[in-house]
Amino acid sequence: MNYREFLGAWEEALLGKGVLAHTDRPEETIDLEGMERKYSVRVGMFCGGPSPEPFTASMELKWRWDALKSARTRTTEEDVLGELLERKGAQGIPTEQPWLRVDIALAGKVHVGSTLVLPSAKAWRSWVNETAQTVDPLLPFSGGTSIESWRGEPTAEVRCDAIGEFSLRGVELAAWQALSLPRQWDDPDREPDESVQQQLEAFAGRLRDALQAWKTCLKALLPAPAASGSLH
């Protein structure tokens, strides 16, 4: 599976799960020196329901396709090994399945010109706990000897104005997930690696649910409405 094939499968999965809309405009760049390709897209306007005012919720997805991945996916594993090791007969050398790291950044930014009261330490801890219960399970963390995913903790962007008053400008949550890529072999009888399509569909479904849960969590950061006074 080369770059264009993966990109097609990626967009098909994200469009199918409603994460990516036809109006979203991904950005693709290529480094002419190192021949590394970079992909990024910001979604959220049409996925997961409306953002809670005054927040604009979004999810940025990024990944990079380096020159070695291009070499491995344009030909067979045996040919790449032969070139790297400068020898023939590389059929018996074992290789690890390549993988692609997808970076995920959930964000909630307050509209320009709007301000939001900075939550107290107690309110912030409560919100972080709520986020851990609702969003974190959709962006699982794996540790041990083989790390296939990572998830950070929510961070806040705070503004201090000219008179020394603090306000909340936004919150973010970062994570990443590894996706295994299938290898290509000279030997037609060799058992092929699992297709990436099933991984992508499951991953896209979790991204959709994570963005929806994130938008729900943002509501909990909004200050409680003031109680109306009763008439006597």
Give the pLDDT confidence of 4-31 residue by residue, as tens digits: 999 999 999 999 999 999 999 999 999 9
pTM: 0.87
Handedness of CA 65, 70, 71, 76 (dihedral sign): positive
DSSP per-residue string spanning 12-34: HHHHHTTSS-TT---EEEE-TTT
CA atoms within 13 A on the CB side of 216: 13
Residue 231 has pLDDT above 90, yes or no: no
- Domain positions in the chain are 3-219
- Mean pLDDT, all residues of the chain: 88
- pLDDT of res. 57: 96
- pLDDT of res. 105: 97
User: Which of the given ranges, 45-49, 82-86, 211-215, 220-224, has the highest pLDDT on average?
Assistant: 211-215
Residue 75 has pLDDT above 90, yes or no: no
- pLDDT of res. 141: 72
Residue 226 has pLDDT above 60, yes or no: no
DSSP state of 138: G
The Cβ of residue 199 has, within 10 Å, a number of other Cβ atoms equal to: 17
- pLDDT of res. 195: 87
CB 181 within 8 A of CB 98: yes
The mean pLDDT value for 62-79 works out to: 86
What is the Cα Rg of the chain in Å?
A: 22
**Which amino acid does the sequence have at 48?**
G
Q: Return the beta strands (E) in the chain as ranges.
A: 27-30, 37-43, 55-65, 99-110, 149-151, 155-160, 166-180
Interval 114-162: pLDDT, tens = 889 999 999 999 999 999 999 988 987 765 556 789 999 999 999 998 8
CB 154 within 8 A of CB 175: no
Can you tell me which residue has the tokens 């903790």?
153
CB 167 within 8 A of CB 221: no
- pLDDT of res. 158: 94
CB 96 within 8 A of CB 45: no
Of 93-97, 191-195, 196-200, which range is least confident? 93-97
Question: Which H helix or E strand runs over 81?
Answer: helix 77-85
CB 60 within 8 A of CB 41: yes
- pLDDT of res. 146: 63
